[in-house]
């Protein structure tokens, strides 16, 4: 597994996502086993959020890391309805409790919101870090205008050291500004949905992916995943429960593509030239509604 250096950590270029985990008791053992297998193969960055499975995904992470906490780098996220100063710390404490740890390695604001001043959330996350509940803090789904706002709140450039954003062959909008901002500020980019949330059917027909796969002894999908992490400073976080998928993703972390292969792939997947914009309307009402629905789901699940 290739690694990159960030903020004193040596991180694998491929980690593991957990969206969709922790929703059904019957699937829990398979999910825990998948994360543990991934960790054993070097995918030690585990990405979760309080909203996933109404906290269920954090519980899956907690179960998976209970005897290897020191070997993993845990990322979780605060939902925007909890972005007020009075709510951030209790949210992160609850996340840590579900993950059976006294701290997260990285805590992110999940989505920007116009309803809570960014300065307020930034200060609250700083307090979370000072209290030892998070080693690092950052953001998610921040486009260039939001990153400009963030820079105005930071005590030093890149203080909020990571931005988790969508990046795959089908979604290349962060190449229009977000990646460049990250390179300039030293912000880690966590590339989410690198396999298009499973909607990668057409990719397998790409001649460029097929040729690179043959050259590297992998599959077109492994090359597609490897493509997302060829730039320094990017860690991709595919989610996989199937053990074959977990193994394939870990192996993709070894693939280094040539400039010619990158060019050929870019021609097959030109993508839209539109810069990335967060897709969820950044209104607190929407975030509260989502949070309420998720909490209800959790109560009904018992
Ligand atoms: N910050 C945010 O707002 C945000 C938004 C979306 C996602 N995320 C994070 O990013 C993570 C990944 O994104 P995602 O869950 O949307 O989707 P994804 O990782 O792009 O795709 C997941 C799907 O691909 C399948 N898969 C995984 N590896 C595969 C392989 N090697 N070959 C074939 N199929 C494979 C999985 O199947 P199986 O599970 O059956 O193995 C699953 O159906 C999330 O879990 C979450 O942690 C963050």
Nearest to 210 by CA among 219, 197, 201, 202: 219
Residue nearest to atom 8 of ligand 1 (CA): 192
pLDDT tens per residue across span 197-222: 999 988 989 999 999 999 999 999 99
CB 190 within 8 A of CB 47: yes
Residue 140: CB within 6 Å of ligand 1? yes
**Candidates 27, 50, 146, 192: which one to mutate for ligand 1, based on the most atoms within 8 Å of Cβ?**
192
CB 230 within 8 A of CB 263: no
Burial of 274 by CB count in 10 Å (0-12 exposed, 13-18 middle, 19+ buried)?
A: exposed
User: What is the whole-number distance in angstroms between the Cα of residue 123 and the centre of ligand 1?
Assistant: 31
Helix H or strand E segment including 247: helix 243-252
- So what's the pLDDT on residue 51? 93
pLDDT of residue 125: 98
**How far is Cα of residue 216 from the mean position of the Cα atoms in its chain?**
26
Ligand 1 centre distance from Cα of residue 17 (Å): 6
Q: How confident is the model over 79-85, as a mean pLDDT? A: 94
Residue 122 Ramachandran class (φ > 0 left, ψ -120 to 50 alpha, else beta)? alpha
- Our CA angle for 193, 199, 200, nearest 5°, is 90
For ligand 1, whether the C-beta of 245 sits within 6 Å is yes
| Cα(194) to centroid(ligand 1), Å | 7
- The band of 302, judged by pLDDT with boundaries at 50, 70 and 90, is low
> What whole-number distance in Å separates Cα of residue 101 and Cα of residue 99?
5
- Give the N- to C-terminal CA distance of the chain in Å, as an integer: 39
Query: Strand 9-12 relative to strand 134-140: parallel, antiparallel, unpaired?
Result: unpaired
For residues 97-103, give the mean pLDDT: 97
Domain annotation for the chain: domains and CATH numbers = 10-301 (3.20.20.100)
Contact between 220 and 209 under an 8 Å Cβ cutoff? The reply is: yes
- Please report which confidence band the pLDDT of residue 115 belongs to, taking 50, 70 and 90 as the band edges: confident
Could you give the C-alpha distances from 180 to 12, 108, 144, 174, 183, in angstroms and in order? 21, 20, 10, 9, 5
Q: Are strands 3-6 and 134-140 parallel, antiparallel or unpaired?
A: unpaired
- Residue 171 beta carbon below 6 angstroms from any ligand 1 atom: no
Quick check: 91 and 82 in contact, CB under 8 A?
yes
CB of residue 82 inside a 6 A radius of ligand 1: no
Q: Compute the distance from residue 199 Cα to the ligand 1 centre, in Å.
A: 10
Relative orientation angle of helices 220-227 and 243-252, to the nearest 10 degrees: 50
pLDDT, one tens digit per residue, over 180-199 is 999 999 999 999 999 999 99
- d(CA 49, CA 34) in angstroms, rounded, equals 18
Cα 192 to ligand 1 centre (Å) = 8
Residue-wise pLDDT for 247-285, tens only, equals 999 999 999 999 999 999 999 998 777 899 997 666 777
- As to burial, measured by CB atoms within 10 angstroms (0-12 exposed, 13-18 middle, 19+ buried), residue 299 is exposed
Say yes or no to pLDDT of 298 above 90. Answer: no
Whole-number Cα distances in Å, 202 to 172, 221, 248: 16, 10, 19
DSSP output for 94-119: HHHHHTTSS-EEEEEESS--SSS-HH
Beta carbons within 10 angstroms of residue 210's beta carbon = 16
CA angle 118, 58, 105 (to 5 degrees): 60
Distance CA 168, CA 192 (A): 8
Query: CA-to-CA distance for 272 and 266, rounded, in angstroms?
Result: 12
Best mutation site among 170, 193, 229 for ligand 1 pocket (most ligand atoms within 8 Å of CB) = 193
CA distance 9 to 62: 21
């Amino acid at each position: 597994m290739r690694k990159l250096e960030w903020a004193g950590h040596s991180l694998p270029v491929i980690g593991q996502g957990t969206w969709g985990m922790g929703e059904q008791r019957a699937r829990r053992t398979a999910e825990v086993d998948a994360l543990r297998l991934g960790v054993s193969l070097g995918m030690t960055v585990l990405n979760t959020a309080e909203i996933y499975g109404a906290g269920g995904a954090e519980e899956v992470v907690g179960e998976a890391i209970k005897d290897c906490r020191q070997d993993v780098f845990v990322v979780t996220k605060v939902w925007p309805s909890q972005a007020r100063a009075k709510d951030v710390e209790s949210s992160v404490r609850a996340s840590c409790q579900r993950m059976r740890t006294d701290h997260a390695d990285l805590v992110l604001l999940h989505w920007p919101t116009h309803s809570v001043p960014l300065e307020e959330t930034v200060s609250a996350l700083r307090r979370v870090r000072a209290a030892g509940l998070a080693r690092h803090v950052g953001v998610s789904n921040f486009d260039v205008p939001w990153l400009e706002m963030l820079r105005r709140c930071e005590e030093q450039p890149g203080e909020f050291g990571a931005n988790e954003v969508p990046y795959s062959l089908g979604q290349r909008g962060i190449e229009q500004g977000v990646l460049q901002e990250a390179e300039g500020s030293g912000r880690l980019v966590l590339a989410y949905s690198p396999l298009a949330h499973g909607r990668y059917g057409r990719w397998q027909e790409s001649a460029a992916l097929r040729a690179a796969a043959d050259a590297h002894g992998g599959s077109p999908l492994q090359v597609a995943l490897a493509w997302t992490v060829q730039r320094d400073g990017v860690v991709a976080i595919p989610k996989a429960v199937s053990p074959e998928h977990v193994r394939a993703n870990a192996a993709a972390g070894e693939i280094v593509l040539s400039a010619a292969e990158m060019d050929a792939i870019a021609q097959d997947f030109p993508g839209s030239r539109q810069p990335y914009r967060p897709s969820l309307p950044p209104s607190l009402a929407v975030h509260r509604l989502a949070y309420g629905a998720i909490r209800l789901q959790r109560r009904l699940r018992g």
